[in-house]
Structure 1
């Protein structure tokens, strides 16, 4: 039996045979029998009619690029702009060009889940190759028109009346010679303009604001003074060769490298064969982990001494097979995330890591065993950031390399004087001394009542699940405080943080909300959880680390309190009960269901729309066997 088609009366528009021929809106239809008919009016819109949303993203690194892709994919009627202060995309991978720059986790674990690269050159890819991957991703998803390069945000302020962020941006004038350059002077030849946003996503990261060390006489040196995060290169577009051209005349130079973080550990082996003499000044101690997922690397390279592996043409041909490649990638990611247990105090994995790392370091430093006495820590592995450091220990024992553990007293016109009174002369001093990891930003971000986020983050940052802060409505962040990992996949956290911001934006759009703001009590509760969690981990040991904003003891400000898998689950479903909401000004006075509109969907009004789309979205349950 075929059901009859109901013919509806023509009221405020023509309706015949179930098809709405012309768009109509009504403020009274269906309300005649309602007790609230005198106080409630239907909205003049369809329930799924996407109101315009303006989103601004700060930074075009991994976070900003991912946000650009996901917001445009999932949010209809969105106006998206990504402001990037550098002259190119890539964030830290654009800014850093120092010798030996490379990824220190497997390349196939340092790519977006939805954007595969089957053509990595090596197990640990060089930095320029990662930058090229990000540039290709931008081109593929046509993000270029949405990314504004050399646009530095100088102020962001929330307007409580309108529910919008007002953003001040500085950019080169059209006639400025600074356009397109990698470095420039922001103080001259620039102009400022204002933009607004319904949602502001900060993708600034914790390692984007590099810092000079606090050493007496830093400006007195007459030779060349450099910082690893501001390496001067002859960038000719030949990825991986920029830094080599910058050191081509260093064969007779005496080089000092200050630091023992990831940058220094990568630079020492890269520069050692290219210079006359190199001295590494090391204040603290650190574990060298050996390559992550060593078993996999050994299998590829055929030896347990392989520290990196160059993929062959045969490997890349195998990667063309979908099943082979996805199994390879899954196994790597699975093994990498398995390293999380080594961060827990007293775990078998932690004890095994300490023994294995110590043995490996002693073997590699056998030619200069005294270095091990000053380098191998008493604190647990993972307390400070682990790095595999391919070639670092091997370079330290070379004849043209010295390891100096004495503290630096001052820098002179010709070199470095240490606290033991010895003075060494150098031609070039390189400060591989890291970044400002305090999350004190170099421009004001002002929330309700004009409170600056930098002040809010004193004495340390407090957040909600690392993505939101009370007093800052419609503001979210990726890779902000407590958003990095001590072991495991970083990019899955980053992706889920972006996904979370997208979900919140969809709620704002769908339910016609002016603002969404996390409750202070929710921030406080997460803070209590965070403090309790880190007491179970080695991150609370006494060691100087950027995890603790460069301090030996105290609050862990950089890491997420849990495994990457834990974060991926925790951010999967927003807890709306942890938020306060405000309605749009024009919707005030209406009840909570005003967002339902006039009882129609967009498809109801368009003969060409799919009015049975749910048949294409069926979740078929498995039939039990």
Structure 2
């Protein structure tokens, strides 16, 4: 097939004229820059390579290797709180996970092996950190400034479409506690771990009881002399019933690898269970009430300590903060060499932590499991055609279009932007859906004479209004301190107003009426010289639409979805969560 393509050196103003020389939908060359080679960036590279032609791609990655957070995070006990067989791409299973909750090293290997298998490293420039992106009014697209960390020089690149895949849990930060620079012991952050530090026999201080702190404590407790763990607020900690930790046996791994459909059915059952948990996050549902009862019972049994039970079991709903399995965490809190200090740290001294009880707690090593900057505000300027900087637009509250775009910032797409389904259910499934949506926009940009596309401000305003109203019915709206929102009583900025399956269905089709589209010249120049793409291909059937029966794919949304979700093929109800409770229909 001899493609007619619009070359990359054709200027925007002559693009329309050039297209008239070729057939309908002649694909223009599109230059794409992707920021970050973590899971999302690698998926984008894979899908572009698989589905597109006449494109160029470069993925700028600040680290020395790919895999993003799974390259960076290697603190003791680091793992994912999603079952490992379902922390994979839907199309790319891994046969030999060691356990239900695998460690970070295994997860790093999965994404690194994925990149190697599909030759994605050729798109990636490691040790290159993007420092700014500025709209070029003459050429269109972005001039992107990148710091070469190896040579300490700054280079410039240009793209038609800019994709931010830098992640939300990536920009780690020290706790905002006075005096942290005065501490004279060994200071560590879980997201910037130093493997050379030996903790054996030492007195370790641990700040934080989020996911990282919960994973660190049971891992280091058997090896250190003492742990003083500083906790300022309660949190729900318990595996969801049916998804407890389990180390796979050799036979189980062999069955996954050799018995047809064994692994895919296991993965489907886990995914159905994960998708069946959304009722947990809706106030007043049977699922939420039953789950809270189960969690409360589990925490009380494992703590078996009235003082800790009173302080560590929350009085807000299950799910207000991200749920964590917490394998071994609660049991570690009551070990002889663990001291729990509940309350605020007023200051960090040369020796350790000065708390609001008036006591100073000296420690040899201070571990800060204090998380990341989750404001969604970009770490570098992203400046659109009218000079507006997304850092300023999102300074007080990040407001996106369906988690992937921003008003007034054209040709800019975001993975896991504000109000994406980060904690609503399976997250990698949502990332795949975001990638597909982005590719549909890029395809339209490439095959029509489009110069810019960006979500309309009024569409975003309507989406945010709907989101805020919906969130009032959820446990995320409770006054807990969570990275899902900027402050306990603030708007929920991190989560989607619905389940992951809800998001997948919402993103199946591009709503072009929500997008501001501008063209290079005549918007119908894509019609070209009157010839079809089919006529360019001598191996194609030039009468493909003649047949002896109607075998068209469904046209209506409902019938199309039934085909996609294989309606009628599952006998048992999928609307059952691993807690054993039926999912409630929300009364909104």
Question: Would you say same fold, with TM above 0.5?
Answer: yes
Distance 1:400 1:50, change over 3 A: same
Q: Please state if 1:570 is matched with 2:526.
A: no
What SS does structure 2 have at the residue aligned with 1:402? strand
Q: Secondary structure at the match of 1:545?
A: coil
| 8 Å Cα contact 2:184-2:351 kept in structure 1 | yes
SS at structure 2 position matched to 1:413: coil
Q: Which residue is equivalent to 2:430?
A: 493
> CA-to-partner distance for each residue in 1:40-66, whole Å, 9 max, x for gaps?
998011214321111111111111011
CA distance in 2, matches of 1:614, 1:89: 45
CA contact (8 A) 1:340 1:486 kept: no
Q: Deviations over 1:211-242 (max 9, x none)?
A: 111112101111101111100125xxxxxxxx
Residue of structure 2 aligned with 1:361, choices 299, 303, 306: 299
Q: How many residues align?
A: 541
| 1:223-238 aligned within 5 A | 223-233=185-195
2:429 is paired with a residue of what secondary structure?
Answer: helix
Kindly report which structure 2 residues correspond to 1:125-204, keeping only aligned pairs within 5 A, or say none: 125-172=102-149, 179=150, 189-204=151-166
CA distance in 2, matches of 1:394, 1:420: 25
**1:75: Cα distance to partner?**
2.0
- How far apart, CA to CA, are the structure 1 residues paired with 2:3 and 2:183? 78
User: Which residue is 2:170 aligned to?
Assistant: 208
User: Relative to 1, partners in 2 of residues 1:41 and 1:136: Cα closer, same or farther, differing over 3 Å?
Assistant: closer
Residue aligning to 2:443: 506
Output the aligned Cα RMSD.
2.3
Aligned: 1:291 with 2:239? yes
* Paired position in structure 1 for 2:222: 273
* Distance change >3 Å, CA 619–CA 233, structure 1 → 2: farther
Cα deviation, 1:569-602, whole Å, max 9, x if unaligned, reads: 1111001111121112xxx2x3x32211101135
Q: Residue in 2 aligned with 1:436?
A: 373
Query: What is the rounded CA distance, in whole Å, between the counterparts of 1:192 and 1:582 in structure 2?
Result: 32
Name the counterpart of 2:264.
326
- 2 CA distance for matches of 1:531 and 1:608? 53
The question of whether the paired residues in 2 share the 8 Å contact of 1:255 and 1:277 is answered with yes
Q: CA deviation at 1:620?
A: 3.1
SS in 1 for 2:386: helix
TM-score using structure 1 length: 0.83
Residue 65 of structure 1: aligned partner:
42
User: Contact between 2:77 and 2:219, CA under 8 Å: does it hold in 1?
Assistant: yes
Give the match for residue 599 of structure 1.
Answer: 530
- Counterpart in 2 of 1:256? 205
Matched, 1:533 2:470: yes
- CA offsets, 1:499-526, max 9 Å, x none? 1110000011111211112111111111
What's the CA shift string for 1:471-525, capped at 9, x where partnerless?
0111111111111333311111111111111000001111121111211111111
Relative to 1, partners in 2 of residues 1:65 and 1:363: Cα closer, same or farther, differing over 3 Å? same
**Secondary structure of 1:529's match?**
helix
Distance, in Å, in 1 between the alignment partners of 2:269 and 2:219 is: 30
Counterpart in the other structure of 2:389: 452
Using a 3 Å threshold, how does the CA distance of structure 1 residues 619 and 314 change in structure 2: closer, same or farther? farther
Mapped contact 2:76–2:220 kept (Cα < 8 A): yes
Q: How does 1:531-570 map to 2 (within 5 A)?
A: 531-549=468-486, 551-570=487-506
> How far apart are residue 541 of structure 1 and its match?
0.5
Q: Is the 8 A contact 2:405 2:417 kept in 1?
A: no
Tell me if structure 2 keeps the 8 A contact 1:206–1:558: no
The separation in 1 between residues aligned to 2:541 and 2:113, in whole angstroms, is: 35
Structure 1: how far apart are the matches of 2:379 and 2:537?
Answer: 50
Does residue 1:309 correspond to 2:246, yes or no? yes
Segments of 5+ residues of structure 1 without an aligned counterpart are: 1-19, 26-39, 173-178, 180-188, 235-245, 298-306
CA distance 1:334–1:22, shift in 2 (3 Å): closer
Conserved 8 A contact 2:133-2:382 = yes
| Contact in 1 for aligned 2:421/2:499 (Cα 8 Å) | no
Is the CA contact 2:424–2:495 (under 8 Å) kept in the aligned structure 1?
Answer: no
- Verify: 1:620 aligned to 2:551, yes or no: yes
Shift of 1:470: 1.1
SS of 1:448 mapped into structure 2: coil
Deviation at 1:162, TM superposition (A): 2.7
Q: CA deviation at 1:161?
A: 3.7
Aligned equivalents of 2:417 and 2:403: distance in 1?
7
Q: Quick check: 1:60–1:84 contact (8 Å CA) kept in 2?
A: yes
Matched-pair contact (CA < 8 Å) for 1:203–1:480: no
Shift of 1:608: 5.5
In 2, the alpha carbon distance for the partners of 1:459 and 1:261 equals 24
1:423–1:50 CA distance, 2 compared to 1 (3 A)? same
Q: Which residue of 2 aligns with 1:282?
A: 231
Name the CA distance, whole Å, in 2 between partners of 1:406 and 1:41. Answer: 68
Partner of 1:303: none
- Distance (Å, rounded) in 1 between the aligned partners of 2:65 and 2:550: 43
Deviation at 1:603, TM superposition (A): 4.7
Distance 1:209 1:459 in 2: 18
Cα gap change, 1:60/1:619 in structure 2, threshold over 3 Å: closer, same or farther? farther
2:415 aligned with 1:478: yes
Q: Is the 8 A contact 1:416 1:425 kept in 2?
A: yes
Question: Structure 1 pair 445/21, CA: closer, same or farther in 2 (3 Å)?
Answer: closer
Question: Is residue 485–residue 563 contact of structure 1 (8 Å, CA) maintained in 2?
Answer: no
Structure 1: distance between partners of 2:332 and 2:410: 51
Match of 2:563 in 1: none
Q: 3-state DSSP class of the match of 1:156?
A: strand
State the SS of the aligned residue for 1:255: strand
Give CA-to-partner distance per residue, 1:165-213, whole Å, 9 cap, x none: 11011114xxxxxx4xxxxxxxxx4111111111111112211111111
**Aligned counterparts of 2:27 and 2:422: Cα–Cα separation in 1:** 36
